[in-house]
Structure 1
Amino acid sequence: MKMNWILATRASSLTVLVGALALAGCNKSETASEGTTEPVAATNVDLSHGGWWCVEHGVPEEECALCDKSLVAKFKEDGDWCDEHDRPESQCFICSPKRFDKFAATYEAKTGHKPPQPEE
């Protein structure tokens, strides 16, 4: 009987602790992208579209030609274009997954965490 009380007390304490941590870490800046509540590594950086990082494509928003079509002409003009995958060659992780490393390093330097893997 005493063992059951101890286990119940520990379980209650653990539940309270987990709940407190969940509430403390619950804010929009910690969601993987708009419309989802999947948590990513705790940061103070807005990861939704409109923030500084494009979670969907794995590059900074300001450099994401897949989201901002106005950037396409400049990438093509600079000879940085993958015709096969219709994106900048420097951002074509399909042709070379290692290209993501440069962008991941930028993300890590800013946040102290590894970036989420690009969805596309």
Structure 2
Amino acid sequence: MSIFTDTTHLHITTWVVAVILFLIAAFMQRDSKGRKILHMVLRLFYVLIIITGLTLFIAHSSYDAMLYGIKFLLGVLTIGMMEMVLVRSKKQKPVTMFWALFVLFLLATMFIGFMLPIGLDFF
């Protein structure tokens, strides 16, 4: 179990791959078979992000439970906005607000994540 909690490398790798896959899927043709497959793979990465994030949350939330809780909530909201962009664009509905919320939640999640004791020391 220490592979999940010793460092944040696995968690960071999963969300970086997920964001890249999301951007590729978002700019593909709406009804292509490749986008459908990519969306399914992306949903697998959502689960991996939540699992690795949850293990880090459980292992390290004793440091500052409120900040870890806020980061967990922002992470789930980021994943929700990613899904909303893909689903609503497939249905040809407006997605501008969801793109803006995705960027906002992603930046807020990264800022808090890097600020936490087990995060990278950028700030």
TM-score, normalised via structure 2 length: 0.27
The structure number with the bigger radius of gyration is 1
Structure with greater contact order relative to length (CA < 8 Å, sep ≥ 6): 2
TM-score, normalised via structure 1 length: 0.27
